[in-house]
Chain A
Amino acid sequence: MTAATGWSIVIVLGAIWIGLGYLWGRKARDSEGFMLAGRNVGLSLGAATAMATWVTSNTTMVAPILALEKGVWGMLAYASVSFGLLLFAPLAARIQRLLPHGFTSGDFFRLRYGRAGWAVFLLITLVYSVTWLVTMASAGGKLLEVLGNIEFARGMTLIMVVCVLYTLFGGLYAVIGTDFIQSLVILLGIVAIGGTVAMNVDFTAAYGHLETHQPSLLAVMFPAALLAIFNNMLFGFGEVFHNNVWWSRAYAMRRGVASKAFLLSGLLWFPIPIASGFLALMAGPLAVNVTDTGQVGPQVAEHVLKGAGFGVMAGVLILVVLFCSMASSIDSLLAATSDLLVKDIYTGLLGGELSDRSFRKVAAVAIVAVGFVAWAFSLSNLPLDEILFSSGGLVASLIWPIIAGLYWKRCNRVLVIAGMIAGSVSGFLSYWFVETYIGALVGAFVSMVLTVAARHVRPSDFPRAPAS
């Protein structure tokens, strides 16, 4: 594919998303409409937006890295992240019941753990959200580089500009609407690419090649891969349970819909990383020389589709599908993170007051600011998997504080906050200094021990009616 074709595809898709964002955004008449789509999202849109948001560039770019490095277990490890969505189903129902007028996940931390717990949460979630955005923007740049021959910084900038623009116009209405279309493109594209690969690969020969040249990828006892299963699953729990991306969707869905929507999205999501991981597993058997693990998924997909006679359309198909998967997550994260900046930091911590009119202006500034910070960090083209997994301990340390806050009546708040901090620090250090793929596991474990202790050591009641 030429650079001109690559630019054209992204610009045409971008124009469609921006146009739709503008159209749907006109429905948002007040801050509740802009942030939560009027709290009236039904099952099909709800399930589609959750699924599309969770099919990030990491699902299509990092899942193949895990399969290439950790084999079959690595592929399944990434798929286990779907359990986060499945388990969020009961939590979403509980969130709607406890906080019927809530706006952000920050509301929950402020009401349950006071200003100190709220501040720790905000620090963790903002660091993680920017990290997540950086991995997606970087993946976009790598994708356009490998498929469209567009220089990394230019491609990454183009993707960020498109996503910032349509999020700016439409808020959550635009995000959910475009997510629905993007989820259909992603599902059809993955089925088409996966089906073509399955039809064009000689499984017996591929198995023989792996058994001879890359035996660890098939080994039952592959330590790092086995650890990746629990690590990724806990990473998924922490990510989904805490991030405002998911809380804003729980608030936005109609009562009774959220649980079903999250269950459905988890089930729909599960096979996607298996399909994208399988591509990477076939790199060796298909004699595709991998020079950058971050590009292995699209590289093998393009190789197979070209071999199947797709010609230049191979790159086009992959680019469209992966661009949709990135856009559907970048827009969600931009919207949810800017909501946190506006509601929790501007009006909450700094005490600023906002009318519905001034809200849109401040929200716009927040969306552009978040997009700019992510863009600036992405320029250095850091390794995707290292950026992503190093933040696992941070989000996993929030799993138990959320479970306790949603289901328990009392606990020792100081100990819970200590658990968040100790879990984050120990998880981060474990990743860099002990072993990769244990950061989330260590973070969750440390936080769990302190949170369980908080139930028994000088506990005090939570406020009885947090929603009020």
Chain B
Amino acid sequence: MTRYEGPDRASVLTGLAEGTYYFRVRQVNDGRPGPWSEPLPVEVEFMSRARVCALLGAGFLVTAMSLAAILHGHFRSNPAS
């Protein structure tokens, strides 16, 4: 599959699923393609589920406690509201 063809000398790749991908490039001069480069392997690996869950738990805890502390403080200092 051709990822990019044009005058730019770079191309940012994002959103790949987990796995190993191989990329190669070649130069085209006056319509005449040169040889392909050696394939470059790129491995996409996500963070472990356990680590993600621990960090998400910490994020939820800090956010929920911050929200609770502000609302509690607000309503205690403004009984009318």
Contacts and interface: CB of A to CB of B under 8 A. Distances in A.
Interface of A: 68-69, 71, 87, 90-91, 93-94, 97, 210, 213-217, 219, 222-224, 226-227, 229-231, 233-234, 237, 284, 289-293, 296, 399-400, 403, 406-408, 435, 438, 441-442, 444-445, 448, 452
Given A216-B14, A400-B69, A435-B47, 7 more contacts: A87-B66, A90-B70, A216-B17, A217-B15, A223-B46, A237-B66, A403-B70
Contacts of A290: 11-12
Nearest to B49: A223
Given A87-B67, A233-B63, A289-B4, A227 B55 contact: yes
B62 A438 contact: no
B65 A226 contact: no
B40 to A, nearest CB: 18
B17 A215 contact: yes
A444 B62 contact: yes
Given A231-B59, A441-B58, A407 B15 contact: no
Interface residues of B, number: 35
Contacts of A222: 46
A325 to B, nearest CB: 23
Contacts of B77: 94, 97, 407
B34 interface: no
A408 B71 CA distance: 13
B8 interface: yes
A230 B56 contact: yes
A445 B65 CA distance: 10
B44 to A, nearest CB: 8
9 contacts: A93-B78, A94-B74, A210-B15, A214-B16, A224-B46, A289-B6, A407-B73, A438-B55, A441-B55
A221 to B, nearest CB: 8
Interface in B33-81: 46-47, 49, 52, 55-56, 58-63, 65-67, 69-74, 76-78
A291 B47 contact: no
User: Max chain B CB contacts within 10 Å: which of A224, A289, A293, A438?
Assistant: A289
Contact of B11 (A234, A291, A448): A291
A437 to B, nearest CB: 9
Q: Which 7 A-B pairs have the closest CB atoms?
A: A214-B15, A230-B59, A407-B73, A217-B15, A90-B74, A291-B10, A223-B52
A216 to B, nearest CB: 5
Contacts of A216: 14-17
Nearest to B9: A291
B66 A399 contact: yes
Given A214-B14, A217-B14, A227 B59 contact: yes
A400 B15 contact: no
Given A94-B77, A215-B15, A234 B62 contact: yes
Nearest to A97: B77
B73 A403 contact: yes
B70 A91 contact: yes
A448 B4 contact: no
Given A407-B69, A435-B47, A441 B14 contact: no
B54 to A, nearest CB: 11
B47 A224 contact: yes
Contacts of A68: 12, 14
A382 to B, nearest CB: 17
Nearest to B76: A407
B62 A441 contact: yes
Contacts of A215: 15-17
Contacts of B12: 68, 290-293, 296
B60 A230 contact: yes
Contacts of B8: 289, 291
Contacts of B16: 214-216
Given A227-B56, A438-B55, A448 B65 contact: yes
A400 B66 contact: yes
Contacts of A71: 15
B63 A230 contact: yes
Contacts of B59: 227, 229-231, 233-234, 441
Nearest to B4: A289
A403 B60 CA distance: 17
A438 B58 CA distance: 10
User: Max chain B CB contacts within 10 Å: which of A68, A230, A234?
Assistant: A230
User: Max chain A CB contacts within 10 Å: which of B4, B9, B46, B55?
Assistant: B55
A452 B69 CA distance: 11
Contacts of A230: 55-56, 58-60, 62-63
A112 to B, nearest CB: 14
Nearest to B17: A215
Contacts of A403: 66, 69-70, 73
Contact of A94 (B14, B66, B73): B73
B58 A445 contact: yes
Contacts of A217: 14-15
